[in-house]
Amino acid sequence: MTPTTTTDRQELRSHGPTLGRLVGDTDAFLEHWEHAPAVAEASADVARAFPLDRAFSLLGTPGLPVSCFRLLRDGAPVPQQEYSAARERPGPGREPFADGAALLRAYEDGATIIFEEVRLLVPEVAALASGLEEDLGFGIYCAAFLTPAGNSGARPHYDLASGLLCQIHGSKVWSVGDPSERWPATPCGDARPEFDPVLETVLRPGQTLYIPRGHPHAGAATDEPSLHLSFAIKPRTWRDVLQSYIRLGGTPEPLRELLPLDHAGRSPEELAAEAVDRLRAVLRSPAE
C-alpha cells in the first residue's frame, strides 16, 4: 500500500472544502484512500442539494431524454422501451423522451431509478461535483439512486472507479468486501462476485460511504425509500500518464527502434524492463 503523504493532507486541508463537506475529517478519510472502505459524516447541506421531493419532481419533468435515466429491477437492467415516449416528430438522432408516468410505475413495481444526468439537471449537485474535481484533481461522474423500500439496486459487483455515496433520504444496508484483484482494469460485467464483508453498515442520511475501486459491494434499501448521491472518481493512473506521454508527446527515437532479433525468445518482463530503461534515459536527457 502506498501511504497518503503529508503533502496530500496539507493540500486537502487548504484546498478541499467540498471534500470536507462530503466526508467531514479529511485526514481520517485519507487513511482509507484507495485501499479500504469507510463511513464518514457529511455536512447537513449536502442533503439539501437533491432532496427526495426534487428527485420525484424530475421524474415528471416533460421533455427529458430517456438517457437521463437508467432502471434496475432485481439487479437486471429494465429496457428503455418500458419508460420511453416517442417524439411527435421522430427522426434519425432524435432520442425518445422519458415517460414520467412509466418511470413512477416501474418504481412502484420495485425498480431502482438511476438519475444519470443529475449533474446537468441540478445546479446544486453540479456545484458539489465541480468542487470535488477541484479538490481531488480527478474527473467526477455523478448519479443519484432512488430505490424503493425493501428493494436492492444493482447486483453484487465492483466498479473501476472509487465512489463516495452520500445518503440523502432513508437508509440502505451495505456490504463491502476486499477485492480479488487490487485496482482492476477489467469491468465486472455480468459477474456476481462472492465476498466476505469487511464492512457492513446501515447508511443513514448525512453519512457518506467510501468504496475504493475494485471492492465488491451490494446494497439494499430498508423499510423506507432510499435516495443517495454517488460521486464516482474517474481514475487516472500511472499507465495513463505513460500512454499520454507517448501518444501526445510523440514517440522518442529510442522507442522507435526495432526490437532485437532475439526478442521472440525473451520474456515479456525482460522486454518491458528494457523499454522502461529506454524511456528513463529519454526523460533524463535534455530536450532537443
If one compares 40 and 241, the residue with the highest pLDDT of the two is 40
Q: Is the pLDDT of residue 120 over 90?
A: yes
- The pLDDT mean for the chain works out to 90
Q: Summarize the confidence of residues 45-54 as an average pLDDT.
A: 95
If one compares 108 and 154, the residue with the highest pLDDT of the two is 108
Helices (H) and strands (E) in the chain, counts: 11, 13
Cell of 261: 532479433
Q: Is the pLDDT of residue 121 over 60?
A: yes
Q: Summarize the confidence of residues 38-66 as an average pLDDT.
A: 95
Burial of 287 (0-12, 13-18, 19+ CB in 10 A): exposed
Residue 241: predicted pLDDT: 86
Helix 100-108 crosses helix 52-59 at what angle (to 10 degrees)? 130
Which pLDDT band holds residue 163 (cuts at 50, 70, 90)? very high
Given a contact cutoff of 8 angstroms between Cβ atoms, the answer to whether 128 and 46 are in contact is yes
Which pLDDT band holds residue 1 (cuts at 50, 70, 90)? very low
CATH numbers and ranges of domains, the chain: 6-52+114-233 (2.60.120.650), 238-284 (no CATH)
Residue 86: predicted pLDDT: 85
- pLDDT per position as a tens digit, 226-258: 999 999 999 999 988 888 888 876 678 888 899
Residue 141: predicted pLDDT: 96
Q: Summarize the confidence of residues 66-81 as an average pLDDT.
A: 94
